[in-house]
Structure 1
Amino acid sequence: MIRIAPAGRVLAVAAVASLALTACGGGSNTATQQTGSAAPSSAAAPAAKGDGVLTIGTLLPQTGSLAFLGPPEFAGVDLAVKEINEAGGVLGKPVVKYDTDSGDTTTNIASQSVDKLLTQKADAIIGAASSSVSESVIDKITGAGVIHFSPANTSDKFTTINDHGLYFRTSPPDKLQGRVLGDLIVADGSDTVGILAMQDSYGTGLADNVSKTVQDGGGQVVERVDYDPKAADFSADVAKLKAKNPKAIVLIGFEETAKVIQELVKQGLTSDTHKWYMVDGNTSNTNYLKMPKGTLKGVKGTIPGANAPDDFRKKLLAVNPKLEDFSYAPESYDAMNLIALATEAAKSDAGVDVAAKLSDVSKGGEKCKDFKSCDELLKAGKDIDYDGVSGPVEFNDAGDPAVATIGIYQYGPDNKYATKALEYRTGNIAG
């Protein structure tokens, strides 16, 4: 079995021609101006003309089941736009940004937000956090000749989806997260595992990957329940796990995980008698604070992304002092910087032109780590390789990052996880 190496020792995740991907997944609805190659497709993108002003739309969760991810994602984009505009903007003009809500799959908010952003002539839309939400609007976005760039999508569907060559992401695949989590469970000594997973492309895909890794590592998945996240009661689902009494319990979901946890405790499957594991969709520092202290003590969770430096976190807190989670802030920051640099390289803000340069600015040239230094190299006629806060990025032919990192986090007695991971594991993603 192929293992994922700890940070600093990069191993291939899978020896196959392509790696399937699976997913996770503040701001306002008013316009703000701040100063200071993709997957294969069966049709070319529509001809979209730029107007010389890079206009960005954000489609990130202000409401819904992933609302806790909204603040760090908005902060990441806002910080990048601030730095870009302070460095002189893009194509000699300040970046214009419009923020909207992505909601979740229970509403039509995302579609309405995209309609609004398209009328505001967005050249690129950053979002959504949820893969299912992005899947519901990708045709509308890319069909209009606009770049669809997610900082948090990991669904395998996006690798081969008809996206006109306009879909990109800075988040790694859940096949990697599933392998890291499965390896962790086995290494922690659990040979029997129960899985409670939300029933959608994110939950079932990640559960499949965890299951395979556990079994390849000599463990056994004794019970797996794919549940309806909108269910009012999870007692029957938890009872199925209780009947098998697994040593480890994997929780794959979004905000409904709080209700699942309450049922686990009620039925005696507490975190001090069973090892609980969570994932990026429910590893939160806001969703479990009302629970009795110690409910999540020792629980481990996995979140894609490399270690965010302290100075980067300080900059984010200057943008939003109320930040509790930093999940996907680096990926959001890098998405904005990459779009801006590709626009400079293309000398055009038209979506098709920018998309054609995104891969170029992410690999193969002189390394640089922020917009200002990278832009200076571009203006000097140099080829650049942007290495971001979230990692090297380096887009493969499918518009996915070729190298990815997963952090392993642990909860304390206050039901919050330490925002510095226990460890980070990095893997090459074949593509």
Structure 2
Amino acid sequence: MAATQKSTLFIVVALIIGLVIGAAAGYAAAPAKEVVKEVQVPVYSPLGTLPSEVKLGALLPLTGALSSYGENGKYALLMAQDDINEYVQEVLGLNLTFTFVIEDTQTSPDGALNAIKTLAAQGIKAVVGPYASGEASKVLSYAETNKIVVLSPSSTAPSLAIPDDMLFRTVPTDLAQGDAIAKILWNKGVRKAVIMYRNDDWGVGLNNVISEKFTELGGEVESIPYDPYAEEYSADVATLVDKVNAFGTGEDVGVVLVSFEDDGIDILTLAKEQDVLMSVKWFGTDGIAYSSKIASAVGDVCEQVGLVATIYSPAKSVKKEQFMEKYEAEYGMSPHPYSMNLYDSAWILALSVLEARTYDGEVIAKVLPKVADNYFGVSGWTKLNEAGDRAYGDYAITAVKLINGTYTWVDVGSYSAATGAVTWFAE
């Protein structure tokens, strides 16, 4: 750990001692003796070795299969930057400015790695993002080697739940979401499920959890992995048709789509042409929940098959409501749950730098869990578990509905991680 800076104040103390020796009459007074003593007094500096401007990084999917998430998150990050600097300068009275340098990951592992290298070249030692688990997995080795703190608002792959690494996450892992989806399937009367999933870190992990949990409930599962970077998915959808036909098209059959926005749109567009796929229930995940692109492009398909999707739900609080009102007034749309996580991640990163009092990735990583444990933000309490991931969280169940001529995401239920209960809202 870097040593704490101490300013040394040299205080010169002149001690003039008059020594009068009066042994007998006739003796003259002895001359005064001057003693100079140097004392070192440590003075605390709240900024430690921090420069007047601290640059933090942001790995956002501004293009690619999660671009609407990234764009929505960018606005939340800009709000966080303003709010953090106002607090640091006006409340704490410090001569310090935090600046977030944004790089586009293109929603790809290689894009994320290139982005973090670009940030590292600028001396940046701590970043928020990336969004996707495949991206987080790709940058982790580089972050470990170069001692860069990575704080993701949305990476959920259980495979990345690694204690004592440089990756932290302000979202629960898919051990929770997978359990939620399995119970929602069962609650909806589904006993046979076909899971079509992205063949990447996130998709594989979520497929495994859903399959395990649904099987434990007594259900049957078939899984279809697909290349998330394929040019088109007609062969994969044809396989989906075969799997559904094998199960039958009764009320007890469902399809779980583990996709992002762009690949999800392509798959749902192809599914629209298959009567057998339009006759069964569909379920989605946080990869498409609240996606404006999904609602706009295939909202009609989602509504026809009754697709419901799960996503981490920030706890209700006054802070959350105030943030949502401010965001909507500023940008004319609602903040995505992962945008709220991103806002809080920015705060946690900045507060951790202040606590560390030095711009050193290892020191920041050491203090960050304690900072997160004591922070309650717009997404709720951000306490982390032993792997550095959000310890608690419930899930919203949302669906696309046609409202006033526009397809819109509407919350239709919730899942409690504490009780395992699925609750449906009255329409």
**Mind listing any 5+ residue stretches in structure 1 that lack a counterpart?**
1-48, 364-384
1:277 corresponds to? 283
Please, which of 330, 353, 360 is the counterpart of residue 370 of structure 2?
360
Residue 312 (str. 1) matches residue 317 (str. 2): no
Residue 195 (str. 1) matches residue 195 (str. 2): yes
Cα contact 1:150–1:169 (8 A) shared by 2? yes
User: What CA deviation, in whole Å up to 9, does each residue of 1:29-78 have, x standing for no partner?
Assistant: xxxxxxxxxxxxxxxxxxxx854533211111011111121022222222
Cα contact 1:181–1:210 (8 A) shared by 2? yes
Residue 253 (str. 1) matches residue 264 (str. 2): no
Using a 3 Å threshold, how does the CA distance of structure 1 residues 229 and 360 change in structure 2: closer, same or farther? Answer: closer
1:109 corresponds to? 111
1:303 corresponds to? 311
User: What CA deviation, in whole Å up to 9, does each residue of 1:304-327 have, x standing for no partner?
Assistant: 232463322122234533x46613
Using a 3 Å threshold, how does the CA distance of structure 1 residues 85 and 424 change in structure 2: closer, same or farther? Answer: farther
Q: Which stretch shows the higher mean deviation, 177-186 or 349-358?
A: 349-358
The alignment's TM-score, normalised by the length of structure 1, stands at 0.75
The alignment's TM-score, normalised by the length of structure 2, stands at 0.76
Looking at structure 1, the residues matched to 388 and 308 of structure 2 have their Cα atoms a distance apart, in angstroms, of 30
The code of the aligned residue for 1:263 comes to: L
Higher helix residue share: 2
Cα contact 1:198–1:252 (8 A) shared by 2? yes
SS at match of 2:88: coil
Aligned positions of 1:229-248 closer than 5 A: 229-231=228-230, 232=232, 233=234, 234-244=236-246, 245=248, 247-248=253-254
**Mind listing any 5+ residue stretches in structure 2 that lack a counterpart?**
1-48, 420-427
Please, which of 387, 392, 403 is the counterpart of residue 381 of structure 2?
392
Using a 3 Å threshold, how does the CA distance of structure 1 residues 99 and 282 change in structure 2: closer, same or farther? Answer: same
The code of the aligned residue for 1:386 comes to: Y
Alpha-carbon distance, 1:88 to partner: 2.9
The code of the aligned residue for 2:131 comes to: A
2:101 corresponds to? 98
1:228 corresponds to? 227
2:175 corresponds to? 175
The sequence identity of aligned pairs, in percent, is 24
1:130 corresponds to? 132
Looking at structure 2, the residues matched to 84 and 155 of structure 1 have their Cα atoms a distance apart, in angstroms, of 29
Structure (1 or 2) with the larger CA radius of gyration: 2
SS at match of 1:189: coil
Using a 3 Å threshold, how does the CA distance of structure 1 residues 239 and 103 change in structure 2: closer, same or farther? Answer: same
User: What CA deviation, in whole Å up to 9, does each residue of 1:92-139 have, x standing for no partner?
Assistant: 311111111011337x43233222211222231111111111211222
SS at match of 2:390: coil
SS at match of 1:352: helix
Using a 3 Å threshold, how does the CA distance of structure 1 residues 424 and 310 change in structure 2: closer, same or farther? Answer: farther
Looking at structure 2, the residues matched to 290 and 166 of structure 1 have their Cα atoms a distance apart, in angstroms, of 38
2:75 corresponds to? 75
Alpha-carbon distance, 1:300 to partner: 0.5
| Larger RCO: 1 or 2 (CA < 8 Å, sep 6+) | 1
Give the total of aligned pairs.
353
Alpha-carbon distance, 1:168 to partner: 0.9
Compute the RMSD of aligned alpha carbons. Answer: 2.5
